[in-house]
Amino acid sequence: MTVPLFEIRPEEHPFAPYIRILGKGKSGSRSLDRMEAATAFGMILRGEVQPMQIGAFLMLLRVKEETGDELAGFVDACRSNMEQPPEGLAADLDWSSYAGKKHQHPWYLLSMRLLADAGYRIFVHGCDGHTAGRLYTEQAMSALGLPVAQNWQQVERQLQVDKLSYLPVRAFCAPLHQLIQLRPLLGLRSPVNTLTRMLNPLGAPASLQSIFHPAYGALHQQADLLLSQPRSMVFK
């Protein structure tokens, strides 16, 4: 008996139109607008999409290359679907740290500590495990005894006492963490690797975003302006 690879239903899946927008050929396809991007990514985060559709969606975006509107919409969806921080919790600087170090030590941790010692509240978020052979921020901070949180309540206490706190994305948006882990399966980075750097979950007035590919700098700036985050330092 042959086991079917997947189930096919006669009615069109609600997510299918978003794949069609991106993949209808050179003359028929287009980018998503911000609302479409937010709706589509929200469906993914809520588990309303089939795994095959997620792969198709992310790789069509990868080939096309995402736009500022699409990234802003994806961030909108993440902010709406993540575990919300306590009311009033705030930071002075949002520091995204997702890539991990391969050849160098994480010297940037010294900058975080210096800023915190100067009285600024530094909130750091990131992810680990998606690329083998890398040293990630969570590992390094834990080894050095720097404050790593497991939930928003711990972040609140750490920012009050230490002025510095790291929270892994799996603690406040587990589906987004799972999407980041797809990189070894797909063999390529996806727009998820870009949008995470713009999350700024506490709405800090300034953010720090490091990139590997210089061409993504302008894209980050476009999305940040759409997200009303003009005080963002984007650098390689």
Q: Which helix (H) or strand (E) holds 43?
A: helix 34-45
- In this predicted structure, the answer to whether residue 225 has a pLDDT above a threshold of 70 is yes
Residue 130: both structure tokens together: 């998606």
What pLDDT band is residue 131 in, cutting at 50, 70 and 90? low
Q: Render pLDDT for 188-209 as a digit per residue (tens, 0 to 9).
A: 888 998 999 999 999 999 999 9
Q: What is the pLDDT of residues 137-181, one digit of tens each?
A: 999 999 999 999 999 999 999 999 999 999 999 999 999 999 999
What is the C-alpha to C-alpha distance for residues 51 and 188, in angstroms, rounded to an integer? Answer: 16
| Residue 103 predicted with pLDDT over 90 | no
Predicted local confidence at residue 10, as pLDDT: 79
Residue 123 has what pLDDT?
A: 98
Q: Tell me, what's the pLDDT at 130?
A: 63
Q: Is the pLDDT of residue 57 over 90?
A: yes
Residue 170 has which token pair? 């799996």
How far is the C-alpha of 58 from the C-alpha of 189, rounded, in Å?
A: 9
> What's the sign of the alpha-carbon dihedral 126, 131, 136, 138?
positive
pLDDT of residue 184: 87
The model's pLDDT over 5-51, given as tens digits with 9 standing for 90+, comes to 667 777 899 999 999 999 998 889 999 999 999 999 999 999 999 99
Task: Give me the mean pLDDT over the 63-85 stretch.
Answer: 97
Overall average pLDDT of the 200-223 stretch: 91
Does residue 133 surpass a pLDDT of 80? Answer: no
Question: What was the pLDDT predicted at 79?
Answer: 98
Using pLDDT thresholds of 50, 70 and 90, give the confidence band for residue 213: confident
Q: What is the pLDDT of residue 214?
A: 82
Q: Residue 79: name the closest of 194, 163, 195, 157 by CA.
A: 195
Kindly give, in sequence order, each residue whose CB lies less than 8 Å from that of residue 7, ignoring residues fewer than 6 positions away: none
Q: How confident is the model at residue 132 (pLDDT cuts 50, 70, 90)?
A: low
pLDDT mean across residues, the chain = 93
Which H/E stretch holds residue 175?
Answer: helix 174-180
**Tell me, what's the pLDDT at 128?**
81
